Amino acid sequence: MLIPSQALEEMGYNGEPIQMYIYSKNSEDAQRIGAQCAKAGIRIELTTRSMGEMMQMIHEADLIFYHICLESEYDLHIIQTLNLLIFSLYCNIN
């Protein structure tokens, strides 16, 4: 099994920041996800947008955090979030 840094390296990720657009109501959760991603070597830059701005600027974001689904196991949720992030990075690179 690959550790996150190996998986990111294999995908060609070189530490460039990932732009995540968020709504202000998701700021706390997005910061928590950003901190977890940073532990894996993924730099997340958060930008708060209004609904109108989000629709106009949606193509500029690497990720959009719309809402969070709570899991009974917090660690499981973080793993699922990171898997989605890695998949998104892979799709954008290839």
Tell me how many domains the chain contains.
Answer: 1
Taking each helix axis as running N to C, give the angle between helix 74-93 and helix 27-39, from 0 to 180 degrees, rounded to the nearest 10: 70
pLDDT of 74:
56
Q: Is residue 31 part of a domain?
A: yes
pLDDT of 37:
86
Q: Is residue 9 part of a domain?
A: no
pTM over 0.85: no
Q: Is residue 3 part of a domain?
A: no
Each residue's pLDDT, cut to its tens digit, for the chain (94 residues) gives 666 677 778 878 888 899 999 988 888 888 988 998 888 888 999 999 988 888 888 788 888 887 655 555 555 556 666 666 666 666 655 4
pLDDT of 72:
56
Residues 74 and 43: their CA atoms lie apart, in Å, by: 21
Q: Is residue 57 part of a domain?
A: yes
What distances in angstroms separate CA 37 from CA 16, 33, 53, 54, one per listed residue?
A: 13, 6, 25, 23
pLDDT of 31:
92
Could you tell me the two tokens for 28? 């706390």
Residue numbers of the domain that contains 74: 23-93
Query: Edge to edge, what strands does the sheet with 44-48 contain?
Result: 44-48, 18-22, 63-65
Q: Is residue 28 part of a domain?
A: yes
pLDDT of 69:
58
Q: Is residue 33 part of a domain?
A: yes
Is 65 in contact with 44 (CB distance < 8 Å)?
Answer: no
